[in-house]
Chains A and B, each alone.
Chain A
Amino acid sequence: MVKEGNIRIPSGCAIAAIISRDGNRMTGEKIVEAMKPMHDRSNGLGGGFAGYGIYPEYKDFYALHLFCDCRDTRKACEAFLREHFEIVKGEIIPTRKMPEITDEPIIWRYFVAPLKSVLADLQLDEKEFVARTVMKINTEMEGAYVFSSGKNMGTFKAVGFPEDVGLFYRLDEYEGYSWTAHGRYPTNTPGWWGGAHPFTLLDYSVVHNGEISSYDANRRFIEMFGYKCTLQTDTEVITYILDYLIRVRKLTMKEAANVIAAPFWSTIEKQTDEYERNKLKYLRTVFSSLLITGPFSIVLGFNGGLMALNDRLKLRSMVVGEKDDLVFIASEEAAIRAMEPDAGNIRAPAGGEPVIVTVKEGKF
């Protein structure tokens, strides 16, 4: 079989998310429920979840989740990691054997901290070093793929329907203050474990429904800054763009949203607040190559919050609801009702209007 990244088949998808603003932790069961009424939006070629706050006992360590094609690859990868990191724990990620999920690679996780001596030698900050190491493994180590690399968070993804993937990874045994989910209907690539969503880098994870037409323009720009897009999927480039804008360039979430889903010039001209108008102009001008065109609805997960965003034309659906301290986001209202039948304030954010939900200070 030609693996993902080497072939392109010119999708529909389902996304959902839940967050407790009070930082209350919940198992992954609710988010799995959300995916059931949206079953038909996926075709069984990918499902995945990201949970935040799930590793409190290792919260100071980067949790690297890896797919490896064989034992030797896993061992080689571990040896490589050992040269650069202190590994406090390495283990198989527990899964359930089930007929719906087959052909699983070796799925392993390491809790690591970069060696101080290595960081000092390279004069890099910790996050940058981890990001570069992930890129290095994913591009240079044949058969190994890091699919999650944040602190106190983790992604779990596979080829299969999302509700089965949730069972497979035993998400009922994890507790997090926020969860995102994705059901995949790949249209451009054949669907491999690594290509399922969420896509992550450090603690940023992205689930995405859509088909962006600016992929190559975005990719050419972002690869100038050391990111390497290995899978030809648009979600990967969105993840790197957000990491670049937020972590590297230190834009706020809203500013990043105004870059990737920039308002039309005609809409910017109508902005009456001069400061806002100039800022929108500035962002659109400076980061013109990071404008994402074509239909998308995404949920960005990060430590302490979520951001939901539609393309500016709103060519994909997205609904938000809430109850008490919980906020729900999904492609369909039915998915929200599956998580919480009594959810209120159901609304559809406008195209390009980011919905940013954060956990109260000190609660995560």
Chain B
Amino acid sequence: MVIQAASLDHKAINDALRGQETDCTVVGCLGQRFIGAGMSDKTVVIDGVPGNALGAYLNGAQITVNGNAQDAVGDTMNDGKIIIHGNVGDAAGYAMRGGTIYVKGNAGYRAGIHMKAYHDKIPVIVIGGRAGSFLGEYQAGGIIVVLGVGGDEKRIVGNFPCTGMHGGKMILRSDCADIDFPGQVSARPASPDEMKEIKKYVTEYCRLFGYDESDIMNSIFTVVTPDTENPYKQLYVAN
């Protein structure tokens, strides 16, 4: 089923998607927000530029964008998968609490801001290129992976990564010699066990976007985690 988005607003597009039993392709998308919001059971492909908050509250559906996406992709997403064959804007995976986001290219500022996890709900965001500043700001759970594929000499992340991070894990394909982390996190080379986990994400990234897995794996990976269960203990009050 093909939905022509050119003359539709965000509500009309979502209504059209909800009315279909089959998988859908949305063509001619231009800035309509909230596409696929809360959906649990569809596979949606989007041509054009979807608007902000693509797949917000996504609950199991799969969304593929054949190009760039804007801000707040997967905002508060609970389950499902978002695949972006391009770059994403700021705040991708904002407060995400489950599911996976794969981005072929770069992410803007604040990717993975306030991601969280609970029991088997462990959100994952994989950024193929570089990430902007404040990566994983206030990260409370989940996994953020940045691969720096096709990168030039620029740093793999911008300034101030992990600001306020107090849970979860960040994996950067770099020795991170040129990156300053805040005091409450530790950065260390990935262990063999962690490399196995990393390989899982890299394999899927390469499958989706057609890269060579051994090229990407043949590199140093750094794992960043907060120092303790409660890094802010006694920051404000003795508790």
Which A residues form the contact surface with B (CB < 8 A)?
Answer: 37-38, 40, 267, 313-314, 317, 319, 332-335, 337-338, 346, 348, 350-351
Contact = CB atoms under 8 A, between A and B. Distances in A.
B221 interface: no
B52 interface: yes
A294 to B, nearest CB: 16
B133 A333 contact: no
B108 A348 contact: yes
B90 A38 contact: no
A319 B158 CA distance: 17
24 contacts: A40-B33, A313-B134, A314-B108, A314-B109, A314-B133, A317-B70, A317-B89, A317-B90, A319-B89, A332-B49, A333-B68, A333-B70, A333-B89, A334-B30, A334-B31, A335-B31, A337-B30, A337-B49, A338-B30, A346-B87, A348-B89, A348-B90, A350-B133, A351-B109
B4 to A, nearest CB: 15
B133 A351 contact: yes
| Interface band, chain B | 20 to 34
A334 B132 contact: no
Most buried by A among B30, B32, B133: B30
A351 B52 CA distance: 19
Given A40-B33, A314-B132, 11 more contacts: A37-B30, A314-B133, A319-B89, A332-B31, A332-B70, A333-B31, A333-B89, A334-B70, A337-B48, A348-B90, A348-B132
Contacts of B87: 346
Contacts of B132: 314, 348, 350
A37 B51 contact: yes
Given A334-B70, A346-B68, A348-B90, A37 B31 contact: yes
A334 B51 contact: yes
B159 interface: yes
B79 interface: no
A267 B159 contact: yes
A162 to B, nearest CB: 14
Interface in B58-90: 68, 70-71, 87, 89-90
A183 to B, nearest CB: 12
Q: What secondary structure prevails in chain B residues at the interface with A?
A: loop
A350 to B, nearest CB: 7
Nearest to A334: B31
Contacts of B134: 313
A346 B87 CA distance: 9
A38 B48 CA distance: 15
Contacts of A313: 134
Contacts of B30: 37, 334, 337-338
Most buried by A among B48, B109, B132: B109
The 8 closest A-B CB pairs, nearest first, are A334-B31, A37-B31, A334-B49, A314-B109, A37-B30, A334-B30, A348-B108, A333-B49
Contacts of A334: 30-31, 49, 51, 70
Contacts of B68: 333, 346
Contacts of A40: 10, 33
Contacts of A346: 68, 87
A38 B133 contact: no
A332 B108 contact: no
Contacts of A267: 159
A338 B32 CA distance: 12
B35 to A, nearest CB: 12
Nearest to A348: B108
A83 B68 CA distance: 57
A88 to B, nearest CB: 43
Interface string B124-163: 0000000011100000000000000000000000110000
A319 B68 CA distance: 12
Given A314-B133, A317-B89, A332 B51 contact: yes
Interface string B25-55: 0000011110000000000000011011000
B229 to A, nearest CB: 28
A346 B108 CA distance: 12
A334 B10 CA distance: 13
